[in-house]
Amino acid sequence: MGFLDDLKRQADAVTARQQTDGAALARNTQLADAACKTVSSYFTTLAPQLNVLKPRSAGRFLLDRQHSFDGLPLTGFRADARRKRVRDEEVFDHVVLHWQMQSGRRIELAKDFLPEIERTESRLRQSGAEIDTETVRNPANGNLQQMRYRFQADFVGYVRVTPDHDNARLRFLLVNIDGFESVTVDFAAFDVGSAKLDELARWLVGQPQKFLADGVDVKRIEA
């Protein structure tokens, strides 16, 4: 075999591998997008049902020792989806289910201890509430004396589903279901069907559920 023949053999092997890889990517893209379509359809049907039922959250939302919120009504559910192009195909970028948790309470907080300030601000950022913040400083030396926060204690929650088209996986980001926290979990696209989404719906309305079962890379971050 001459050198040219050897180069041709190597080129043919690379071409065959690229074609195989391309077919695998196309298949994974189809699986991930089909799962996203299932999620989008489920969320679109679920939102108006929950807006009628107005379930109450089973979570406890703690700002500090004096301010915690239990049994908040879940309202304003709405589903949304965005699309993008991958390898010249239009596919799902993400699917989201949003909702609100309204306490009807006007809150004023004042913190003068740095760890408490950091902890409170982390929870307020996580809450999604609109915050009016005031910094109080010592007029003599400019040192921080106190942080004051005023806000309507109405919070937000959401589930955001982002596909990994190359690997046929879906990542769920769940925000403020059990409290001021974020939970992420990955599932294979073929595991995300109506049964799995029913478990998520049970979680939202405070019923026993097994949504995280069979998930991978589960991470829970408290604010």
Distances (CA, A) of 136 to 122, 146, 147: 19, 5, 6
Give me 204's structure tokens: 């939202």
Mention every residue, 6+ apart, whose C-beta is less than 8 A from residue 2: none
The pTM for the full model equals 0.88
Where would I find the beta strands (DSSP E) of the chain?
60-64, 67-70, 74-86, 89-111, 131-137, 144-164, 169-175, 181-188, 216-222
- Decide: 32 and 164 in contact? Cβ < 8 Å: yes
Tell me how far apart the 2 most distant CA atoms of the chain are, in Å. Answer: 89
Rounded Cα distance, 39 and 98, in Å? 14
> What is the average per-residue pLDDT within 184-195?
97
Nearest to 56 by CA among 68, 39, 43, 73: 73
> What mean pLDDT comes out for the span 109-118?
95
Q: How many residues does the chain have?
A: 223
pLDDT tens for residues 157-168? 999 999 999 999
Read off the pLDDT of each residue in 207-214 and give the average, rounded to a whole number: 96
With cut-offs at 50, 70 and 90, classify the pLDDT of residue 88.
Answer: confident
CA separation, residue 117 to residues 93, 110, 111, 123 (Å): 36, 9, 6, 10
At residue 183, the pLDDT reads 98
Question: Chain-wide mean pLDDT for the chain?
Answer: 93
Provide the pLDDT for residue 16.
58
pLDDT at 23: 78
3-state secondary structure 95-108: EEEEEEEEEEEEEE
The pLDDT, as a whole number, for residue 15 is 60
96 in Cβ contact with 161 (< 8 Å): yes
Indicate if the pLDDT at residue 133 is higher than 80: yes
Does the pLDDT at position 18 exceed 70?
Answer: no
Of 146, 192, 202, residue with least CA distance to 169: 192
Residue 14 corresponds to which tokens in the numbers above?
Answer: 């690379």
